[in-house]
Amino acid sequence: MCFVDKYILKEGQRVILSLFVVAIILHLLHLEFLSALFLLIFFLSLYIFRNQKIDINQDAKIISPISGVVHAIDFDEKYKIIYINTSLFDNSILLAPQTGELKLTYLKRGINLPLNEKKSKKLNEKLIFEQKDIKVELLSSTATNNLALNFIDENVNIFTKIGVFTQGEVILFINKEIELSLQIGQKIEVGTKIA
Expressed as residue numbers, the domain containing 171 is 68-188
Report which DSSP code applies to 145. P
Gap between the Cα atoms of 189 and 49, Å rounded: 15
The answer to which of 57-61, 135-139, 178-182, 187-191 has the lowest mean pLDDT is 57-61
- 44 and 72 housed in the same domain: no
pLDDT tens digit string along 94-106? Answer: 999 999 999 999 9
**pLDDT value at position 96?**
92
**pLDDT value at position 1?**
54
Evaluate whether 66 touches 190 at the Cβ level (below 8 Å): yes
Evaluate whether 159 touches 190 at the Cβ level (below 8 Å): no
- 41 and 122 housed in the same domain: no
Q: Compute CA distances 185 → 71, 92, 176, 182, 192, whole Å.
A: 5, 19, 21, 9, 15
**pLDDT value at position 117?**
87
pLDDT tens digit string along 142-192? Answer: 877 788 888 888 999 998 999 989 899 999 999 999 888 888 999 999 988
142 inside domain: yes
- 87 and 162 housed in the same domain: yes
